[in-house]
Structure 1
C-alpha cells in the first residue's frame, strides 16, 4: 500500500510539474511575441470597419467562402515533397544600390526580393510591397519558417521609398521589425487594408502616415493612384483575431503604366471586374506558390494564377509568393515549373526573375531557368481548383457573382 501511495504522489507531482512547465512555456511565448501580435482596432477605426460591405457578424468575410479539406491538410504532411526546401544556397542576384539611380526607361521596373516582397518603380513612384526583411516569418525570433536566403539588398541601402503597401496581416506579409525599420528610415506612406493600421500605430508608425482602404477605395501618392481591390483570403496574427482585419490586392495606376499586385488570394469571379474597371495592366504580380488542393481557396495555384492574369487583362505576368519560405508541401521549384507550363499553353508572356533581379515588363521576357531541375507534381497530378465559381472556370465565363 505504501509503495502504491508513493507512486501516486510521484505521478501527481510529475503531472503538476508538466502542467507548470506548459503554463510557463505558454506564458513565455505570449510575452515574447506580444508586440508582434499587434493590436485590435478600436474607436473610429473599428466603427469604420463595421461600416464596410465586407463586414458581417463581427468579422470580415469573402463573397465566396474559403473551403478547407482538413483530412487532406493534415495527411498532406506525410506526402511532403523531398524537395520542399533547397539543399544549397540559391542563385540570388545581389543588388547594387546604384541600380536605382537610373530610372526605368519604360517607366516601369519591378525588383523581386523573393516571396511577395518587391520594389515597384512606376511612373516615378517607388512602392515596396509586403516587405519582409526578418530571418523568420513568426512572432518569435527562435521559431517559425526561416528564409532561404538573405535579402538581396540591406534595408539601409534601399532607395527612397514613397509607399509601403501591405496586403494583409499574416506574418509572411506584415513583418513587425521591417515595418518599424521602414518607419524610421523612410518618409513613406503606409497603405493597408481596413484595420491593419491598428498594428502599425501600435508599432509607432505615425497616424498621418497610415492610409487604410476598403475594397475599391483609392489614394493618390505623387502621380499614381493606388486602389485596394478585392482578394479572397483571410487575416489574423494569433488564435483569437481571425479575420479581424481586411485583406486586399492592389492596382497601381500611373499616368502611363499600370500594375496589379495580388497579395494572397484564391481565384474569384471579381477578378474579371478588376480587369474591366482598372485594366489592362502592363504587369500582374500574382502569387503562385504555397498552394495545396486541401486549401484551394486560400492560395490560387500556378494554373489558376495564369487564368487570373487573363481575367485581369494583364499583358505580362510575374509570379510571386515562392522561393523564400517553405509554407506548403510542394517542391520549392514546382511553382515555377507549373506556371511556366501553364503560361506556355495559354500563350501568356511570363517573367521569372531570380531574387534580386530587376525586370521591365516591356523589355525582353526573362526566360532563363535559374533554379535546379528537380522532380515536381504536374497540374494533372495535383490540381488546385478554387470553389464557389458556380460553373466552368474559364476566362470568358469565370462563373459566380462578385
Structure 2
C-alpha cells in the first residue's frame, strides 16, 4: 500500500503523523474492548428515517454574503464569493471499504446530488471513510472537475483510487488561495486517521479556516476538545470568526473517549454502524 513519503517535521516522524499536543489513538485491543465489552450501548436505529428537509441551492452567492447547506454528518456546501465549496462530501449509501457492509445511511443527503450547483472546490479533512468517500469524489470529478484540497497523504489515497481527481495536498498552517477573495487555512485538530489496520496516521488530518468576503468560517470536521488549545490557537492566529461549525462529541464510555481523538460528529450523522 503506497503512503505519504516526505521530510520529517514536528508532527511527522518519517513514517507516521502525530499531534504533539494531543493523545495517540487507541490501540486495536482497546478498540475491540470498547466494541465488544467496554460498556458501549448501541442505540437502536430505524432502518430509514426520512428527513422533511431538503435544499435546492442557488447557482452562486456573490458579494459579501454566505450561504450554508447541511448535507449530512460532516458534509456541507458553503457558497461565498462566487465559489461553491463542498466539505467532506459523502453521497454514498455506506461509508466502508466495501459496498455491502459497514455504516449505512439512514436518510437522504440534505441536497440531492442532481440539485448541486457547479462545485468549484472540495475540502477533505482526513482519510476516514465517512469523510473521504472515493465514490463521491469520483462522481464530483466526472460532473464538475473541482479542485480537491486535503492534508498531506490523502492525495495518495485519492490518486491511487482515481487518477482523474484533481487533488492538491497541504500541511498544517498552509494557506491556499481558492479565488473570489477566498482562501483556506489547514489547521491542526485533535484527531487521527486510517483506512485499514495497516495505515494508521500515515496521512495527515486537519480542520479548515475559510477566509471569505462574509468573514472567517471555522470548519471543525472531526476533533476532540482535549484542553482546548487547538481551538484557542485558531482564535489567536485567525482572529474573530463569523461562524464555527463544530462537531458533537462522543463522551461515553469515559475510559475510551476522554483522551479526545475518538470524539466525532457522529451525533449529526445519517449513518450508523
CA contact (8 A) 1:84 1:326 kept: no
More strand by share: 2
> Which of 57-66 and 141-150 deviates more?
57-66
Residue 100 of structure 1 aligns to a residue whose secondary structure is coil
Residue 284 of structure 1 aligns to a residue whose secondary structure is strand
TM-score by length of 2: 0.86
1:23-102 aligned at under 5 Å gives the runs 40-41=2-3, 46-47=5-6, 50-56=7-13, 58-63=15-20, 64-66=22-24, 68=26, 70=30, 73-74=34-35, 79-81=40-42, 83-86=43-46, 89-96=49-56, 99-101=57-59
Can you give the 5+ residue segments of structure 1 that lack an aligned partner in the other structure?
1-38, 302-318, 328-402
Match of 2:178 in 1: 221
Residue 272 of structure 2 aligns to a residue whose secondary structure is coil
CA contact (8 A) 2:34 2:40 kept: no
Task: Give the CA deviation at 1:255.
Answer: 3.2
Residue 271 of structure 2 aligns to a residue whose secondary structure is coil
Residue 252 of structure 1 aligns to a residue whose secondary structure is strand
Task: Provide closer, same or farther for how the CA distance between residues 77 and 87 of structure 1 changes in structure 2, counting only shifts above 3 A.
Answer: farther
Structure (1 or 2) with the larger CA radius of gyration: 1
Match of 1:324 in 2: 270
More helix by share: 1
CA contact (8 A) 1:169 1:237 kept: yes
- Out of 106, 119, 123, the residue aligned to residue 161 of structure 1 is 119
Superposition CA RMSD, Å: 2.6
Write out per-residue CA displacement over residues 122-179 of structure 1, whole angstroms, 9 at most, x where no aligned residue.
2322110101111111011110010111223332331011110001001010011111
- Out of 172, 176, 192, the residue aligned to residue 134 of structure 2 is 176
Task: Give the CA deviation at 1:195.
Answer: 0.7
Partners of 1:176 and 1:187 in 2: how far apart? 14
CA contact (8 A) 2:250 2:266 kept: no
TM-score by length of 1: 0.60
Can you give the 5+ residue segments of structure 2 that lack an aligned partner in the other structure?
none
CA contact (8 A) 2:189 2:206 kept: yes
Residue 270 of structure 1 aligns to a residue whose secondary structure is helix
Match of 1:21 in 2: none
Residues paired across the two proteins, number: 263
Task: Give the CA deviation at 1:263.
Answer: 1.5
Task: Give the CA deviation at 1:324.
Answer: 0.9
Task: Give the CA deviation at 1:225.
Answer: 0.9
